């Protein structure tokens, strides 16, 4: 049985995601064609010009592909499934310097080094500063009575967390935040020039690395750029690209999780009552499943193979649609219920538990938890004034603005 979609339907079409998440279409794929070929004309192929990609819609196949870097490469065509349509091969080449677009053995080496910045101890070390920030953010928003939740509440903590982690001084944070926002939103004309912002972040981070190499101060940047007992360290360029990746990977994702999470609570008041009363520890993961801030990352087949009944040829792309897998009836009981006590919750919002599994997952959980707790303490009766305005992006499930009354 073949699925029934209008001709030209594309699961990474930014205009589609600006309107809605294709929930019904994903459900149809999981039922009828779990690995489905989505043809793409060259002009709207996000710079790939290779005829299209496979949509992987089931939880089990997303995990299988994520866990096998040999057959499924993150490097050959990168992990980002929808680049700007006019992306040149040179620009594509440049993205190969980001960890998320690397294969072993290079990926394993860099990943080992950057993981030192995300140990449970390093993340826990940010708790006090971020708790205080979260309270301050919510306090200021409350004073304004009503406004845009994204700008006033959700957007600040993820940026502050990255800045805290890297020890960026207060005076530089605003410009780092502006560059971060411009780097990612290339499909939405409202934001600044992404290429210029990308270069600015690299330049800024390169300087940081050089300074810490000359004068180590015992912080995480010093740890990453100085070879320890194992003799491994990041070069200044590698560090620069890592900071860009943090700005891309850790900023908008967490912001959207917080916004989608709060919207889910407004739509499910009984869950909000439960959260306020009991603060279940399982909440942040259910928020990430429900929000699925990254719709999809991709891999490229390194050989001819078969998966989910599809015959995939070497060189073809496969989109790992977390936004479908997280609502797969065969992996979750009652997947369309927002249930903050869901346990177990094997969601793939942070990836399918393979080599690239989100290195910032624990930091993201902490941020979501702190923000929701601060909101529950200071603005328990938040209400929606207008529906959220969605982001125009083919791979991020984003909310640009959401008017609410704080209360």
By the criterion CB under 6 A, which residues form the site for ligand HEM? 66, 99-100, 111, 162, 245-246, 249-250, 253-254, 257, 288, 293-294, 297, 349-352, 354, 356-360, 363-364
Task: Give the number of other CB atoms < 10 A from CB of residue 19.
Answer: 10
* Residue 9 Cβ vs ligand HEM, minimum distance, rounded to whole Å: 24
User: Please, is 204 exposed, middle or buried when counting C-beta atoms within 10 Å of its C-beta (0-12, 13-18, 19+)?
Assistant: middle
Q: Considering beta carbons, is residue 291 or 404 the nearer one to ligand HEM?
A: 291
Query: Within its chain, how far is the Cα of 178 from the centroid?
Result: 18
Q: Compute φ and ψ for 210, nearest 5 degrees.
A: -60, -45
Q: Considering beta carbons, is residue 130 or 310 the nearer one to ligand HEM?
A: 130
Closest chain position to ligand HEM (CB): 360
Contact present, 296 and 395 (Cβ < 8 Å): yes
Q: How far is CA 238 from CA 24, 104, 214, in A?
A: 41, 16, 17
**Three state DSSP letters for 169-223:** CHHHHHHHHHHHHHHHCCCCCCCCCHHHHHHHHHHHHHHHHHHHHHCCCCCHHHH
* Residue 246 Cβ vs ligand HEM, minimum distance, rounded to whole Å: 5
Contact present, 11 and 321 (Cβ < 8 Å): yes
Q: Considering beta carbons, is residue 168 or 257 the nearer one to ligand HEM?
A: 257
Q: Considering beta carbons, is residue 260 or 400 the nearer one to ligand HEM?
A: 260
Calpha distance 297→95 (Å, rounded): 14
* Residue 120 Cβ vs ligand HEM, minimum distance, rounded to whole Å: 14
Contact present, 330 and 75 (Cβ < 8 Å): no
Q: Considering beta carbons, is residue 28 or 399 the nearer one to ligand HEM?
A: 399
Provide the strand spans (E) within 264-332. 296-301, 305-307, 310-312, 317-321
Query: 345: closest CA among 361, 360, 333?
Result: 333
Residues facing residue 37 across a β-bridge: 54
Strands 383-384 and 305-307, sheet pairing? unpaired
Q: Considering beta carbons, is residue 93 or 273 the nearer one to ligand HEM?
A: 93
DSSP helix/strand/coil, 373: helix
Q: Considering beta carbons, is residue 252 or 339 the nearer one to ligand HEM?
A: 252
Q: Considering beta carbons, is residue 101 or 222 the nearer one to ligand HEM?
A: 101
* Helices 170-184 and 194-214, axial angle in degrees (round to 10): 140
Q: Considering beta carbons, is residue 28 or 209 the nearer one to ligand HEM?
A: 209
* Residue 331 Cβ vs ligand HEM, minimum distance, rounded to whole Å: 16
Residues facing residue 56 across a β-bridge: 35, 320
* Residue 139 Cβ vs ligand HEM, minimum distance, rounded to whole Å: 23
* Residue 111 Cβ vs ligand HEM, minimum distance, rounded to whole Å: 5
* Residue 407 Cβ vs ligand HEM, minimum distance, rounded to whole Å: 26
């Amino acid at each position: 049985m073949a699925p029934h979609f209008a001709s030209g339907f594309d699961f990474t079409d930014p205009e589609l995601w600006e309107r809605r998440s294709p929930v019904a279409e994903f459900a149809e794929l999981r039922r009828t064609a779990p690995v489905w070929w989505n043809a793409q004309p060259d002009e709207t192929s996000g710079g790939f010009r290779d005829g299209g990609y496979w949509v992987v819609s089931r939880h089990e196949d997303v995990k299988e592909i994520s866990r096998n870097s040999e057959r499924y490469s993150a490097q050959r065509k990168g992990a980002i499934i929808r680049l700007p349509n006019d992306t040149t091969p040179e620009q594509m080449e440049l993205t190969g310097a980001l960890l998320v677009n690397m294969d072993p053995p290079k990926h394993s080496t860099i990943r080992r080094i950057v993981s030192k910045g995300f140990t449970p101890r390093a993340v826990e070390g940010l708790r006090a500063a971020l708790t205080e920030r979260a309270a301050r953010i919510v306090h200021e928003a409350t004073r304004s009575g009503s406004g845009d939740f994204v700008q006033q509440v959700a957007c600040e903590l993820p940026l502050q967390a990255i800045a805290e982690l890297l020890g960026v001084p207060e005076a530089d944070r605003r410009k780092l935040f502006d560059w971060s926002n411009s780097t990612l939103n290339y499909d939405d004309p409202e934001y600044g020039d992404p290429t210029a912002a990308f270069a600015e972040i690299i330049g800024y981070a390169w300087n940081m690395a050089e300074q810490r190499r000359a004068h180590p101060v015992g912080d995480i940047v010093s740890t990453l750029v100085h070879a320890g007992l194992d003799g491994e360290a990041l070069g200044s360029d590698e560090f620069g690209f890592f900071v860009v990746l943090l700005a891309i990977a850790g900023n908008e994702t967490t912001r959207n999780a917080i916004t989608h999470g709060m919207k889910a609570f407004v739509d499910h008041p009984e869950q909000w009552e439960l959260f306020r009363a009991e603060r279940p520890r399982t909440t942040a993961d259910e928020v990430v499943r429900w929000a699925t801030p990254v719709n999809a990352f991709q891999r490229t087949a390194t050989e001819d193979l078969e998966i989910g009944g599809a015959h995939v040829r070497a060189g073809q792309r496969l989109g790992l649609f977390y936004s479908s897998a997280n609502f797969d009836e065969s992996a979750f009981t009652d997947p369309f219920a927002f249930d903050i006590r869901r346990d177990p919750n094997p969601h793939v919002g942070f990836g399918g538990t393979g080599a690239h599994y989100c290195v910032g997952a624990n930091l993201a959980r902490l941020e979501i938890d702190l923000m929701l707790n601060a909101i529950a303490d200071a603005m328990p009766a938040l209400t929606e004034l207008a529906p959220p305005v969605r982001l125009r992006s083919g791979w991020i499930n984003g909310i640009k603005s959401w008017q609410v009354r704080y209360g």
